[in-house]
Structure 1
Amino acid sequence: MDASFFRCKQVLVVEDSAPVRSAIKIMLQQMGFESIHLSRDANDALSRCHDIPFDFILCDFNLGDGKDGYQLFETLKQQALMPPLCCFIIISAESQRQLVHGVIELQPDDYILKPFTFPILNERLIRAVKLKIALRKVYLNLFEDNYTAAIKECDSVVSLKPEFAFQALRIKGELLLNTEQYQIAEKFYKAVLADKPLPWARLGAAIAAFYLERWDDTELQLADLTQFDITKVEALDWLSHLLVKYGRYETAQQTLYQAVLLSPQNIKRQRTLSNLNVIIGDKEAAARINAKLVAAARYSVEESAENHLNHARSLIDVAYNKNPLERTVLLQNASQILDSVSKRYTENSWLKAINVVRSRIFAAKGQLIEARKPLLENGVADKAEKMTIDSCMDGAKAYFELGDIHSSQFYIDKLASYLINNDYLTETQKIMLKMEKVRHEALKATIKQISTEAAAAYQDALFNQAFYLYCETFDHMPTNSIIALNILQTASKCSNLPIKSLRYCKQAIKLLQAFVLEKSNKDKFQHYVILLREQYPQLVVRTRRPKANS
């Protein structure tokens, strides 16, 4: 390619090592580049990309503190800061499997291993730009999200530029899958495979068969494709997804864990793995993943308050199964995370999500009255209020843990309306939602049965029996004011309740004192308290007298 071609092109070199930057600049000058821009870190590179539409970006993978090359590429794509024909090339001194698999998933235009010479750089840049030129109309339509036109342009490349046919075919196959044309995609991939058994075409055919629910054939293909570097991570991903379809959750978790080890910077996959651990009951593993996810997402396009909140949420889930000392430590850690998040993220939506997590911390400590306060500050979300899927799930858990089944059901219904994507992460979220529904139905059935028995016992003047049944219901719904009133009403008619049973009366009184009751219920409450304190003086709440002024 003539040097005059590169003379008018804009190129950006992102490299934290000054000597390497200088060496690459000299090579680029030899090729004919005149507009050469140098950046030592991702932030400076981002700033330059806002001002200049670069034709080439050569980026080192490791850029020291801050964003790395992977995260910079993600950000540039998300913010549409790269022109559609820009060639992005990753440079790295490392060849570890994790890096290689991560780069394959990232799909830059090329990957060059350090140290490299001028001929290698020259060859790779020419190869990348020739491909961009050949598929120019494809990339322009992709940039405009015009997938139908992009598919047609792929066909044009195949017929007119056969030397670039495989690249065009691969893009076409991915577009057919992305636009959910699964039967056409399967037929397309079979035609490609009839000519040559390319791993990416085999993977595409397996994905199409997955969506067409021919899972037996899919499993064999995906298992075989885990042997090829170019398809290994994606094949493990889809194989894990398939195993979930079969209900083989533990094997699915083990399979996806292998994919995460190979490409740990894929945040969505890590979230899916965390969900799978929750599904199989390994909440401690989920908490460990969420802790790593916070670090992995830092500087990436996936960095948000949600990552930190999910870490805190998972610590609360673990705390419920620990001894008092371990529970205290875990809940303290969750509180510290909330304090940090509340300082960094001040938007109202995040403050509401923080309040829900704080409520769950109080509930895990057994401080149920305190647990209601953050939820009262929020109020139950209305139907139109936008929430994240994880915040919605957390709202359902928070109200469930306080025994407010009605409010918890509201969030479950709201959550169901959000789970509309057709991806693996959403699949695991649907399973978790189903698990919550099962918990709800079981609790509602239990409460209904006990409440019916309690009401019948009360009608038959079996007050002691009715009292203990209402107490059992109160264990399930410890912040329900109606059950609290029933306990006090029934207790006032009992004779000689054991001292240990009076804790339910104390808990009911404390709860109702914190409620704003309607006048009729307030009068009943005061009446029952008077009767009970006459019979059980220990129910009197003693208050300290203020010290006299000296």
Structure 2
Amino acid sequence: MDQEELAAFNQLNVLIIDDQILVQNVIKSALFELGIENVKCAENAYYGLRLCEQTTFHVVICAFNVKSDKDGFHLLEELKFKRYVTKCTVLIFLSAETNEDLVNSIVELQPDDFWVKPLNIKHVQTRLPLALEVKRTLFNVYQAMDRQDFSKAIYYAERHLLNNRLAKYHLQMKRLKGECLLQLREYTDATQYYANLLQTHKVSWVYLGYIKSLLQQDKLEDIQALLTELTDKADTRFATYDMLAHYYVGKQDYAQAYEEIKKATRLAPRNIERNKRLLDLARLNHDHAGQYQATISMAKFARNSIHDSPLLRLNVVRAAIDYATTLEKADASKVLSQGEVILAELEKQLPLAAQLKDQLLVVRARLHTAREERQKAESIVDNHMTLRPGMSVEDNLDKVKALHELGRREDAVSLLDAIKRQISGSGLTNQVVSKYIEQEAAERSAVHFTPQQLNRMAVEFFKRNKFHAALNSLEQAFSLTPNNMSVALNILKVLVAIKQQEALDEGHIALVNNLRQQLAHNELDSEQQSKFAEYQQQLLPGQH
């Protein structure tokens, strides 16, 4: 792409991707009146991509809701990934919706403008020339950023900032310079740069750049009040939560990282990489329900995108089984039935079923075990499953679970050791996955049953007045599901029974106090609240 082409309307190539013919016609009419004649239209993402293979477009105008295949967010993500859209391309986003989660998703893709439908010709003719003029004026800055030569981009931006004739573009140049400083990891310089900007420009991107540079220097304490202010504002809360999640992962505070990324994901749910981080943190924090929902979201939002894969649907089944092992039998049965539907669909898809034969068999074995069809599960494991680790960490981890759920703990722990050696690199994602594998190895060595099995054992021990054995089973179950308040209440129930036979020891009293604190900070239904009050009265009369 050439800088001068952006000034010559008769040389511009424009692509409109929108499934509404009326919208296409309004934009085309406006463009023709401006003298822009090289205009292509696509009614769906598939044809938009095909056109990009054939032509380099200076301007791409894309609707969010391209109903016939993938949505505009994932289409633009793919266009950027394939380099059909670069920093030098004028990118316009169209939508009739302006809800917060859509706007956050659009902001992540950094379009040059956002046009709200319904459009009129005057609006198009006013806004597009402005976007083209900015792009042409700052072309060398954008080109250097495309080439990841951020030092050169700063050099060009600073030269432009000295030119008073370009004063109306100075704010955009300052923003680009800040982005480049962050890309270069010049965090001390970036902090000073953004602090100076805040004296005159109290806008969202300046605040966000400032807190990002400080978080990267571990200066959270310095900006607590500012963080509270930014999370209260619609235009900054999403990016702030996302940065905080990244910060807390770096500090190995995975519980807080999980809380922050849950908020960020709710505010911008379409980003698959963020959903993957959400899933990893859900697993690490033993949130089986959250893990299950994260896999469902990934499969839903990745559909028809560059992230789409049958493995995402397989992961929904895997997470369903993990979740079911923490539930009572009736609830577990519902979740397993949902997983069965997806697994059966995958098993029928050829040649997919042949390509994923080993993975599907392992999941099928786990499903049988979860349904207490042990003989069927053992037949699959004995006849079809190899203990050699494969290339995929997720596939190997599923094998570990299949073996452990059948009581083959030595094989499971041996395979986990092999998985540990597969985790490479020092990135934050690898850090979370590595910590999860380490946690799995420790738990599967120490705890020999699933939470569901441990709960059932506790019920049997309790019926036979073997309260200490019941307590041991429930404590193991709670170590695997520390967010399960039903298990916490059952532990208190057993402690009440023990107290009626003998005095509670120091360990029991410490356990009561820990559980009281946790239960007090969780949302309990009316029945749970009633049980909690009853058990507190019996265990620590007068102290609740």
Q: TM-score, normalised by structure 1?
A: 0.71
User: CA shift at 1:235, angstroms?
Assistant: 0.5
Contact 2:63 2:94 in 1 (8 A): yes
Q: What's 2:325 paired with?
A: 320
Q: What's 2:295 paired with?
A: 290
User: CA shift at 1:78, angstroms?
Assistant: 1.2
User: CA shift at 1:237, angstroms?
Assistant: 1.7
User: CA shift at 1:421, angstroms?
Assistant: 5.4
Contact 2:387 2:411 in 1 (8 A): no
User: CA shift at 1:390, angstroms?
Assistant: 3.4
The residue type equivalent to 1:124 in the other structure is R
Q: What's 2:364 paired with?
A: 358
Secondary structure at 1:212's aligned position in 2? coil
Inter-partner Cα distance in structure 1 for 2:187 and 2:431: 19
Contact 2:397 2:419 in 1 (8 A): no
Inter-partner Cα distance in structure 1 for 2:187 and 2:418: 30
Which deviations, in whole Å up to 9, do the C-alpha atoms of 1:302-327 show, x marking residues without a partner? 21223212211111012213344544
Q: What's 2:386 paired with?
A: 379
| Structure 1, unaligned runs of 5 or more | 445-475, 477-550
Inter-partner Cα distance in structure 2 for 1:320 and 1:37: 53
Which deviations, in whole Å up to 9, do the C-alpha atoms of 1:57-90 show, x marking residues without a partner? 1112212231122121111111222355221101
Inter-partner Cα distance in structure 1 for 2:179 and 2:350: 39
Q: What's 2:499 paired with?
A: none
The residue type equivalent to 2:212 in the other structure is I
User: Which of the numbers 417, 440, 456 marks the counterpart of 1:436?
Assistant: 440
2:126 pairs with 1:105: no
The residue type equivalent to 1:433 in the other structure is I
User: Which of the numbers 215, 219, 222 marks the counterpart of 1:214?
Assistant: 219
Secondary structure at 1:112's aligned position in 2? strand
Inter-partner Cα distance in structure 2 for 1:127 and 1:421: 43
User: CA shift at 1:4, angstroms?
Assistant: 7.8
Contact 2:409 2:445 in 1 (8 A): no
User: Which of the numbers 393, 397, 400 marks the counterpart of 2:401?
Assistant: 397
User: Which of the numbers 420, 423, 435 marks the counterpart of 1:418?
Assistant: 423
Instruction: Please show how residues 295-310 of structure 1 align to structure 2 within 5 Å.
Output: 295-310=300-315
65-74 or 325-334: which moved more? 325-334
The residue type equivalent to 1:353 in the other structure is Q
Contact 2:6 2:132 in 1 (8 A): no
The residue type equivalent to 1:41 in the other structure is N
User: CA shift at 1:34, angstroms?
Assistant: 0.9
The residue type equivalent to 2:370 in the other structure is A
The residue type equivalent to 1:321 in the other structure is T
User: CA shift at 1:419, angstroms?
Assistant: 5.6
Count of aligned positions = 441
Q: What's 2:135 paired with?
A: 132
Inter-partner Cα distance in structure 1 for 2:353 and 2:396: 17
% of aligned pairs identical?
24
Q: What's 1:16 paired with?
A: 19
Structure 1 residues 263, 84: CA separation in 2 closer, same or farther (over 3 Å shift)?
A: closer
Contact 1:154 1:169 in 2 (8 A): yes
Contact 1:359 1:375 in 2 (8 A): no
Which deviations, in whole Å up to 9, do the C-alpha atoms of 1:390-417 show, x marking residues without a partner? 3344344334334344554444553564
Inter-partner Cα distance in structure 1 for 2:15 and 2:227: 39
Secondary structure at 2:40's aligned position in 1? strand
The residue type equivalent to 1:211 in the other structure is Q
User: CA shift at 1:109, angstroms?
Assistant: 1.4
User: CA shift at 1:191, angstroms?
Assistant: 4.1
Structure 1 residues 31, 431: CA separation in 2 closer, same or farther (over 3 Å shift)?
A: same
The residue type equivalent to 2:182 in the other structure is L
Inter-partner Cα distance in structure 2 for 1:432 and 1:296: 25
Contact 1:223 1:239 in 2 (8 A): no
Inter-partner Cα distance in structure 2 for 1:243 and 1:273: 13
Contact 1:240 1:251 in 2 (8 A): yes
Inter-partner Cα distance in structure 2 for 1:129 and 1:30: 16
| Structure 2, unaligned runs of 5 or more | 449-475, 477-544
Secondary structure at 1:105's aligned position in 2? helix
Secondary structure at 1:91's aligned position in 2? strand
Inter-partner Cα distance in structure 2 for 1:215 and 1:123: 43
2:53 pairs with 1:66: no
> Which structure has the bigger radius of gyration?
1
User: CA shift at 1:139, angstroms?
Assistant: 2.5
2:344 pairs with 1:339: yes
Q: What's 2:59 paired with?
A: 56
Structure 1 residues 177, 440: CA separation in 2 closer, same or farther (over 3 Å shift)?
A: farther
Contact 1:395 1:411 in 2 (8 A): no
Which deviations, in whole Å up to 9, do the C-alpha atoms of 1:315-358 show, x marking residues without a partner? 10122133445444433432332333352673987444333323
User: Which of the numbers 207, 211, 224 marks the counterpart of 2:229?
Assistant: 224
3-12 or 241-250: which moved more? 241-250
Inter-partner Cα distance in structure 2 for 1:175 and 1:60: 29
Secondary structure at 2:352's aligned position in 1? coil
Inter-partner Cα distance in structure 2 for 1:86 and 1:284: 42
Instruction: Please show how residues 443-482 of structure 1 align to structure 2 within 5 Å.
Output: 443=447
Q: What's 1:490 paired with?
A: none
Inter-partner Cα distance in structure 2 for 1:54 and 1:327: 52
Moved over 6 A (4+): 1-4, 245-248
Inter-partner Cα distance in structure 1 for 2:124 and 2:210: 35
Q: What's 2:91 paired with?
A: 88
Contact 2:320 2:336 in 1 (8 A): yes
RMSD: 3.4
